[in-house]
Structure 1
Amino acid sequence: MNRKLKQYTQLLSQSVLFWSVAMGLYSILRYYGIDEEDHFTVVTSYSGTLGILYSLLKLTSIGILIGALYTTIDFIFDAFAARRISLTNDVVIRTLFHFMTTIFVFTMVTDVFSDFNNTNVNTDSGWWAQNKSFWTAILYIVVASFVFSFIKMANEKFGKGTFLKLLLGKYKTPQEEKRIFMFLDLKDSTAIAENLGHYKYSEFIQDCFYDLNAVVPKFNAEIYQYVGDEVVLSWPYKKGLANNNCIDLFFAFQQKKQRKSEYYQNKYGVIPEFKAGLHGGKLMVTEVGVIKKEIAYHGDVINTSARIQGECNTYKVPFLISEKIMQDLKVSAHITSQFLGSVLLKGKQEKVGIHAINQIA
């Protein structure tokens, strides 16, 4: 519950900041200098700088309310309705709610500012239908919504803060970072695929990854890659260690699947089990590609994480982590670890200590 509240608070602050700035900018673009334009007659109680400040305050207030209400609507939809209706219906219904919210906010703020300014502005039922200024604002809001959605998708694609670094060209040349990687792979995937067939198996993987995506934001993880039935997750080193995020995510994902075990059993005849390998350290990150640009990580950390995950079959355990991560973690009371020894991973010249991690029921 606390993590959901934290997630909502983060989304709320981002949305309110964006929309307050966007509507403040709209105020400047719409009204600044308009009383000096030739062939324009402006009728307003305020003029000049005072008029701009008045419209800026009014539209910024609208932006704050829109940001707060849009976020609340989207958060509720994502939590309760996103998986129950088609994408088309989702977009149509959300748009309808956003539009009604916008009318409500414009009406309320206009009423408040009309009382403050002692002006008689028409906000009777249906006032917005013939109001050209309102539809101009709606057009601007639609364009701003596309910009906001693009920024959100870019952040989800590249990770928080990475998109801005891309725009600034930080990764044009390789940069050293310290990160934690988890390779998460479906157990017995070949047998499951043969049993389900390629179409049903694709639905099965889709459901598994949807459940994983519901967990990922709660533990500040970033999805680096989807590779078939495998997912590569990543954290900045300190974020991964904080509150045992890099450990607790795996067990939260397990619990998510256990709660939906009846659903998986009824629909697919099998309950998915995943195995994971975890390792961290310094590596290089850079921008690659021209036609399709991506952020790529290069270094031994990636290979070692993948090899550790491969040892899960050897030791018949679901979750293995490296000695390095184990030393840096502050293992909480609900976690137990077992040192399995130092093993020579495939392709490596030095042995790596590995630990099996389990959660106390």
Structure 2
Amino acid sequence: MRVFLNLLWLSILFWTFAMVLWGLFRFYGLESEDGVTISADFREDLKMKNILPLFALAGFLMGIFYAAVEFAFDKFNSKRRSIGLTIFIKTIVYLFLIIVIATFMIELGANLFGLKKNNDPGWWRHDKGFWITTLYFLFSSLMFSLIRIANEKFGKGVFLKMLLGRYKNPKEEKRIFMFLDLKSSTAIAEALGHFKYSQLIQDCFYDLNDIVPKYAAEIYQYVGDEAVLSWPYHRGLANNNCVALFFAFQNVLKLRHSYYMDKYGLVPEFKAGLHGGELMVAEVGVVKKELAFHGDVINTSARIQAECNKHNVALLISKKLKEDLNIDSNYSAKSIGNVLLKGKNAELSVFTIFQG
């Protein structure tokens, strides 16, 4: 629900602004343009006090419908359907919505302001204004999609900070990192073969992506059969998000037990290491620009995850992070003791977390 509400308010804000802007592009100053002849009736219709509220309302309605369609496609559309087919289906749906909303707005404008425009059945087929508005909508939709993609790639709110140049120079941030890795990956790859194994990793990460937004996580990168997730420190602690995500992912894999058994003959299991603290973040590269995190937090998180097999546990967490979490009745913590992580000179106290 939170994912939809976030998408909804962004969609309403974007489309209200976009449609008001289109109203200005389309009509502002039109009656004073040289060579443009406007009838007396239509000249009255062109008053901005009549035009802009209608376009704002159209944008508001479009924002609601657009968010609903995008959310439905994100949630129910087959992840294996080609991008081209998905875009085609969306285009048909949006064309229908534009026709419905435009017809409604014409009728509303006629009743409230006396605007005179044909809205008989099929009016839109030969209406040049409708098709130029539709073209503007498709362009705006592409812009909104690109903004969403950039926001998802860099993390919530990070894209705007990059536009403002915040990370041109390294900045210190406090974050939590999780290294999530497939158990027995080498044996599974040998048993399945590289093609089937690649499909397995795809399916696992599709399932992971379905729950990432629910726990306010950001996917930093995928490395083979490993996913690296991150949270701003306060967001990872809230509702035990950084721990809850791991168990939610486990539950999703269990619920899809039949699917994985039928397709691969096994149910994948993952292990994870968690640690948090101060580190540096900066823009790197020109081609394929991205944010990179530098610091001991990342290295320690990876080393903690590597200890899972040695201690035969699914989740390990540093003592410092465990103490900052509010471990409630849903979880229990057990000390593993002090361990000497690979490449470290000093031992680190780690705990395993389990449900119950």
Shorter-chain TM band: over 0.9
Note the aligned Cα RMSD (angstroms): 1.5
Q: Aligned runs of 1:276-295 on 2, under 5 Å?
A: 276-295=272-291
Partner in structure 2 of residue 342 of structure 1: 338
Q: Aligned runs of 1:207-246 on 2, under 5 Å?
A: 207-246=203-242
Matched, 1:30 2:26: yes
Aligned partners of 2:92 and 2:304: how far apart in 1? 49
TM-score of the aligned structures, taking structure 1 as reference length: 0.96
1:19 touches 1:67 (CA, 8 Å); kept in 2?
yes
Query: Which residue of the other structure, out of 36, 40, 62, is the alignment partner of 1:66?
Result: 62
Aligned partners of 2:31 and 2:243: how far apart in 1? 61
**What's the CA shift for 1:81?**
2.7
Q: Write out per-residue CA displacement over residues 15-67 of structure 1, whole angstroms, 9 at most, x where no aligned residue.
A: 11100011111111111111111001233657599712321111111111111
Unaligned runs of 5+ in 1: none
1:33 counterpart letter in structure 2: G
2:322 counterpart letter in structure 1: M
Residues 28, 122 of structure 1: alpha-carbon distance in 2 compared, 3 angstrom cutoff: same
Query: Which residue of the other structure, out of 243, 246, 251, is the alignment partner of 2:247?
Result: 251
**What's the CA shift for 1:76?**
1.9
Aligned partners of 1:43 and 1:341: how far apart in 2? 85
Residues 229, 116 of structure 1: alpha-carbon distance in 2 compared, 3 angstrom cutoff: same
Partner in structure 2 of residue 260 of structure 1: 256
Query: Which residue of the other structure, out of 265, 272, 275, is the alignment partner of 2:271?
Result: 275
1:194 counterpart letter in structure 2: E
**What's the CA shift for 1:120?**
3.6
Matched, 1:12 2:8: yes
Partner in structure 1 of residue 316 of structure 2: 320
Partner in structure 1 of residue 352 of structure 2: 356
SS at match of 2:286: coil
Partner in structure 2 of residue 158 of structure 1: 154
Q: Write out per-residue CA displacement over residues 183-242 of structure 1, whole angstroms, 9 at most, x where no aligned residue.
A: 000000001111111111111100000000001000000000000000000000000000
2:42 touches 2:116 (CA, 8 Å); kept in 1?
no
Q: Report the identity percentage.
A: 52
Matched, 1:52 2:44: no
Aligned partners of 1:82 and 1:103: how far apart in 2? 27
Unaligned runs of 5+ in 2: none
Partner in structure 2 of residue 130 of structure 1: 126
How many residues are treated as equivalent by the alignment?
Answer: 356
2:45 touches 2:113 (CA, 8 Å); kept in 1?
no
Partner in structure 2 of residue 105 of structure 1: 101
